[in-house]
Structure 1
Amino acid sequence: MQSLLDVNKSSPRAGGVWPAQKSALLDWLMIETREQRFIDNILVEMCERLGKAGIPVGRASLHFRIQHPQWRGARLLWRKGLAEAEIRTFEYGSEQTAEYLNSPLNDILTGAGEVRQRLEVIDAATPPYPLYDELRAEGLTDYVAWPLDHTLGKRHVVAFATDRRGGFTDEHIAALYDLMPALAIVSEIRLKNRFARTLLETYVGPHASEQILAGATTRGSGVTVGAAILICDLRDFTAISDAWPRDNVIELLNGYFDAMSEPIEKYGGEILKFMGDGLLAIFPLSNPTACVDLLRAISEAQAAMSTLNAEHVREGRKPLGYGIGVHVGDVMYGNIGSRKRLDFTVIGPAVNIASRLETLTKQVKRPVLLSKTFVDLAGCAAKLENLGSYLLRGLDEPIDVFAFSGDCLTVNDVSA
């Protein structure tokens, strides 16, 4: 197979056979897509423009190796006649599957400069890739894949197929290949933009990431918001971390944080930070059901912790204890820190009270404590146990404290 690096000037891949259409498509890719954030939309429009220029693309795909805490890669797939591209993600470990190893994608990512397969003829030289059977079943006659090389050695893949009888001509292949440098630049910009957003969402949460991307990057920048605040802490973590192997401790923490975090995010809470074995989350009061949603999240988190603890007991381990403190009030939401190292978080007296309530759970032996201010706003005092008044550290006056458990009320028992 001829490498793209070896084509000479007489090859149709050297370009020059469709100057007018090429110029228009390159201008569009490099200039007119500047306002388009999403590479899948660019792929769809590019294929439509290729068809109008006489390049018979029936299917096209972009394959990216992405940096994401959950996904190893993503495929954007367009088929002729569709207005949108199909997006499929692949988990870590997918690169070891037969689907990946027996594919042109693996060939490109391990160094091939091109994969070309005419699908109308099957002979001994045709690799037995399942993808080729899939393409034939769709009525496609020819397939070509090339690397999309981004900076710092990051390699991705683009592929085209046609249903034209006889497949792509040399001129068609040259036309497509001429777009590769521009497509590499355009796709890298979108991929890095998406990575920046993913990075921020992963480490500071979706709402804070929007604030930062919108320009809230200077120390002291932020807003005052009303929020229900939840602070959670794992019990006896120091003893566990001293006694358990490191990998087991990390596995334990991940299981605990999954149990707590997934319900919080499900009901619209924003986890601002993980603090060792604890977490801080808020439910903005701009959502009229914020307090009810927080209670729903705690209820589901407690159920998830019960399931997790049952697994620990089966494995001969002690069940995990935890404490949760909940309060509501105005908080300063924004950037705090040194000149060069900032943390996007919330501060204020309301956060301090939630923290003191979490600490109080150790004394009163109840896993979840709520302030009367929160309970009144949630409208659920009649269904909770009033533990009386407690003077919390740093406060001049005692506050009424309520205990919550997931089975002490149902969703219908509370009203926003």
Structure 2
Amino acid sequence: MNAPPNIAPAAGHSAAGVLHWLTNETRDQRFIDNLFAEMCIRLQQAGIPVKRGTLHMLIQHPQWLGARMMWADGMREAEISRVDFDVRERSEFIGSPANEIFDGATEVRENLERDPALGRKHALYDEMRAMRLTEYVAWPLYHTLGKRHLVTFATDRPGGFDEAHIAALKSLLPVLALVSEIRIKNRLARTLLETYVGSHAGELILAGATRRGTGTTVRAAILICDLRDFTKISDNWPRDDVIDLLNDYFDAMSEPIAKYGGEILKFIGDGLLAIFPLSQPAACANLLHAVTEARQAMAALNERNKENGRAPLNYGIGAHVGDVMYGNIGSRSRLDFTVIGPAVNMASRLEALTKQLGRTVLLSRAFADLVKSDFELERVGEHPVRGFSEPVELFAYHG
């Protein structure tokens, strides 16, 4: 959880003081939720009777449409909740102040003391009346390129906000838009990098590892997985079904990898490449634990596919251990943050051999030596591996 704001008691005891603080003294506050909570507390200290505030931000995230930060009187930090993509079809959104603002309204202001029959109809207003709030106001926050977000305030002051309160709150909006956009875009950059290159690679890129050819040598357990007969599936299934199938397959494989400390570096068509750095304790064992859970998830997925009249999905996994070059590779203008080296090639060749040898998971001798005291492995003999001069002793894992 983010650290709560540390507010000097004498700071910001006027509306102008809050604006000065927001403009000049927030550069060290990284998190918008903490900044918003501190702003609401300072507003109270300035005599503006804010009892509750919310900040609604649309974000680019693969799982959520946005986030809502809610602060209420007595709270030292804001409460964050995620907003699903289907929220616009839900009753809590339809007809809500957020609905009005995102549809183009420049202000929603509701007197909660008057007869409910005379006001706007929505469950949110009923909830606020039950909390003995007297007035609610919502405004859009404008970010660049026409992006529109939302900020709201409510009070329990008899008679609601007066016009001086409203003017003071509105004076904050342009600066709040600026400071929130900076922090949202910082978070967005991190989220996009985590989504597309993985958390560890994303951290390195944000730290400045963006020069072509730069990288480090890492000793790691390498996993490569590939779906069987995907060309036949993609040729015969409707496009949307193929996309759903791939997403379900990657979920089944990816979630255990992340759970056990692996990092997926890329999806390659219907395959994936992941590493478990040996700097982590029990990296090779963790790779096999991830494989075990992925196989269970794939078995469950195949049961669902069978119920829907779909053929089961088959796949192969190759695992090896060795030194890899981990860093930036590509053209002058387009880079890929990945791993390369003979160890990666070996894992790829083992995955290809799974079909030939009739095994789902094949391990090299180098990998097996690190885990065979803890896992039951089947020795499948020495086999030639394309691109390598000597045969390689292989082991199958059935866990």
Instruction: Quickly name the TM-score band, shorter chain normalised.
Output: over 0.9
The answer (yes or no) to whether the contact 2:13–2:46 under 8 Å persists in 1 is no
Distance in 1 between residues matched to 2:361 and 2:51, nearest whole Å: 58
Q: What letter is aligned with 1:137?
A: A
Identity in percent: 64
Distance in 1 between residues matched to 2:135 and 2:375, nearest whole Å: 70
Q: What letter is aligned with 1:164?
A: R
Provide the secondary structure at the position in 1 that maps to 2:362. strand
Provide the secondary structure at the position in 1 that maps to 2:93. helix
Which residue of structure 2 aligns with residue 8 of structure 1? none
Matched, 1:76 2:69: yes
Distance in 2 between residues matched to 1:289 and 1:162, nearest whole Å: 55
Which residue of structure 2 aligns with residue 329 of structure 1? 322
Which residue of structure 1 aligns with residue 9 of structure 2? none
Matched, 1:98 2:85: no
Which residue of structure 1 aligns with residue 352 of structure 2? 359
Distance in 2 between residues matched to 1:45 and 1:258, nearest whole Å: 39
Note the 1:373-384 alignment, pairs <5 A.
373-380=366-373, 383-384=376-377
Matched, 1:399 2:383: no
Note the 1:191-206 alignment, pairs <5 A.
191-206=184-199
Matched, 1:187 2:187: no
Q: CA shift at 1:269, angstroms?
A: 1.0
Most deviating of 305-314 and 183-192? 305-314
Which residue of structure 2 aligns with residue 372 of structure 1? 365
Distance in 2 between residues matched to 1:288 and 1:125, nearest whole Å: 65
Provide the secondary structure at the position in 1 that maps to 2:275. strand
Q: CA shift at 1:30, angstroms?
A: 2.1
Which residue of structure 2 aligns with residue 7 of structure 1? none
Q: CA shift at 1:213, angstroms?
A: 0.6
CA displacement 1:6-54 (0-9 Å, x = unmatched):
xxxxxxxxxxxxx983432222212211122210010011111111111
CA displacement 1:119-158 (0-9 Å, x = unmatched):
2222433112111122222232211110101111111100
Distance in 2 between residues matched to 1:378 and 1:31, nearest whole Å: 56
Which residue of structure 2 aligns with residue 261 of structure 1? 254
Distance in 1 between residues matched to 2:134 and 2:16, nearest whole Å: 28
Provide the secondary structure at the position in 1 that maps to 2:256. helix
Which residue of structure 2 aligns with residue 247 of structure 1? 240
Q: CA shift at 1:177, angstroms?
A: 0.7
Note the 1:1-40 alignment, pairs <5 A.
21-40=14-33
Which residue of structure 2 aligns with residue 411 of structure 1? none
Which residue of structure 2 aligns with residue 345 of structure 1? 338
The answer (yes or no) to whether the contact 2:13–2:47 under 8 Å persists in 1 is no
Q: Give TM-score, length-normalised by structure 2.
A: 0.94
Matched, 1:292 2:279: no
The answer (yes or no) to whether the contact 1:237–1:277 under 8 Å persists in 2 is yes
Distance in 1 between residues matched to 2:224 and 2:116, nearest whole Å: 65
1:120 to 89, 113, 125: 113
CA displacement 1:255-293 (0-9 Å, x = unmatched):
111111111111111110000010000111121021121
Distance in 1 between residues matched to 2:117 and 2:305, nearest whole Å: 55
Provide the secondary structure at the position in 2 that maps to 1:259. helix
Note the 1:295-306 alignment, pairs <5 A.
295-306=288-299
Root mean square deviation of aligned Cα: 1.5
Which residue of structure 2 aligns with residue 211 of structure 1? 204
Shift of the 188–353 alpha-carbon distance from structure 1 to 2, 3 Å rule, reads same
Return 5+ residue gaps in structure 1 as ranges: 1-18, 407-416
Most deviating of 285-294 and 146-155? 285-294
Q: CA shift at 1:111, angstroms?
A: 1.1
Provide the secondary structure at the position in 1 that maps to 2:387. coil
Most deviating of 133-142 and 97-106? 133-142
Distance in 2 between residues matched to 1:378 and 1:204, nearest whole Å: 28
Return 5+ residue gaps in structure 2 as ranges: 1-11
The answer (yes or no) to whether the contact 2:13–2:42 under 8 Å persists in 1 is no
Q: What letter is aligned with 1:299?
A: T
1:222 to 194, 210, 215: 215
Distance in 2 between residues matched to 1:31 and 1:330, nearest whole Å: 49
